[in-house]
Structure formats: C-alpha cells, structure tokens
C-alpha cells in the first residue's frame, strides 16, 4: 500500500511540476494561480495543498531539486585536470539537456532571476575552489574572474537552449572550457 501511495505522490508532484513549467512558458509566476495550475494538472486544490503551500513554494522546490542535483554531480568530479574539466562540463550540459524544459524555462523567465543567480553561485563556488587556486590570482580577483566566466557561460547555455541545442554538449563544453581556462591562465594582476 505504501508503494502505491509513494507512486501516487511522485506522479502528483511530477504533473504539478510539468504543469507549472508549461504555464511559465506563457506567463509570469505571479500571474499563475493555484486554481489554474490544478486545472492544468487535472488535480484538485486540496491535493495541491498537501504537497505545496502555493505556486511559489512549488517553484522553489523545483529549483532546490535542480541545485541539489548540480551540487551532487559537481562534487563527484575532479576539476584539476583539463580533460576532466571538459568531461565534467560536458556531463553537466547533458544533465541540462535531460532537464531541457526546466532549464529553458527557469533561465529565461523574465520575472525572477533567482534560479540563474543560484546556478551562478554553485558554479562560481566550484570554479573558485577547483580552478582558481593559483597563488598569483588573489581572492578579490578570482571573484571578478569567476563572475565573468560564469555569467558568460550561463549566457552561452541560454543561447544554446534558445537555439534548440544546435550544437552537441561536447561542442558547447569545449567553448565554455576554452574561454574559462584562457581567462584563468591570463588573469594575472600586476
């Protein structure tokens, strides 16, 4: 009986997440009501409220899940080797492909950029901790450099998603890593 209940919960959460992503493609989160969300998901409002407080809570939980997945994934890899960095970036892009609708929607939502900021924080922490450990790049400069690299990378990914992933994850990973590594290797302050 518990397995059936767990499956039902997973299904309910899945259709609510999918419905929110679909609705976010055509309107801002503030314009989406719980009633509209439930109608789109074909569930009743009381079921919605057993899982989430409101549509903002649902979006927050979707974002939390993605950020946790990214952190878990990035913690499994060694960024010190250039080839490993390329493979890690490629795998991360493959993860983005597997969650295309979510990333495309959340990175392009005009109303709130909290997801983009959170993705940038995760990536920046890993970039500073794993690629910018050179003594010649002081902490203040590494923050500027990581912000520049991560912002550019996010926008490359947004463009790639907007172009319906017209290049392979490997090709985009090469572009991002080449820019990142060249920026890091050439950022020595006199």
Chain Cα centroid distance, residue 49: 26
pLDDT of residue 147: 80
Angle in degrees, CA 6, 58, 55, rounded to 5: 130
> Is residue 23 within 8 Å of residue 13, measured between CB atoms?
no
Q: What is the mean pLDDT of the chain?
A: 82
pLDDT of residue 189: 46
Fold of 61-185: Tetracycline Repressor; domain 2 (1.10.357)
Distances in whole angstroms, Cα of residue 64 to Cα of each of 43, 57, 67, 82, 168: 23, 10, 5, 29, 27
pLDDT at 131 over 60: no
Percent of the chain whose predicted confidence (pLDDT) is above 90: 38
How confident is the model over 11-60, as pLDDT tens digits? 999 999 999 999 998 888 889 999 999 999 999 999 999 999 999 999 99
Domain ranges of the chain: 1-52, 61-185
> Whole-prediction pTM value?
0.78
- DSSP state, residue 95: H
Domain covering 1-52 assigned CATH 1.10.10 in the classification: yes
Residue predicted with more confidence, 61 or 144? 61
Domains 1-52 and 61-185 share a fold: no
Distance of alpha carbon 132 from alpha carbon 139, whole angstroms: 9
66 phi/psi in degrees, rounded to 5? -65, -45
How confident is the model over 151-172, as pLDDT tens digits? 888 899 999 999 999 999 999 9
Residue 53: other Cβ atoms inside 10 A: 12
């Amino acid at each position: 009986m518990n397995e059936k209940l767990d499956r039902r919960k997973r299904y309910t959460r899945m259709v609510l997440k999918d419905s929110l992503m679909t609705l976010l493609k055509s309107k801002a989160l503030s314009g989406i009501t719980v009633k509209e969300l439930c109608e789109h998901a074909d569930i009743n409002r009381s079921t919605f409220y057993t899982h989430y407080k409101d549509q903002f809570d649902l979006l927050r939980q979707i974002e939390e899940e993605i950020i946790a997945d990214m952190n878990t994934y990035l913690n499994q890899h060694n960024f010190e080797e250039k080839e490993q960095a390329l493979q890690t970036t490629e795998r991360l892009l493959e993860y983005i492909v597997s969650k295309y609708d979510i990333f495309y929607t959340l990175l392009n939502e005009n109303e709130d950029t909290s997801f983009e900021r959170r993705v940038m924080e995760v990536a920046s922490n890993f970039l500073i901790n794993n690629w910018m450990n050179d003594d010649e790049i002081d902490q203040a400069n590494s923050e500027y450099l990581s912000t520049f690299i991560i912002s550019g990378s996010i926008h490359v990914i947004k463009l790639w998603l907007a172009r319906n992933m017209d290049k392979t994850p490997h090709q985009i990973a090469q572009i991002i890593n080449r820019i990142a590594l060249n920026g890091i290797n050439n950022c020595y302050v006199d």
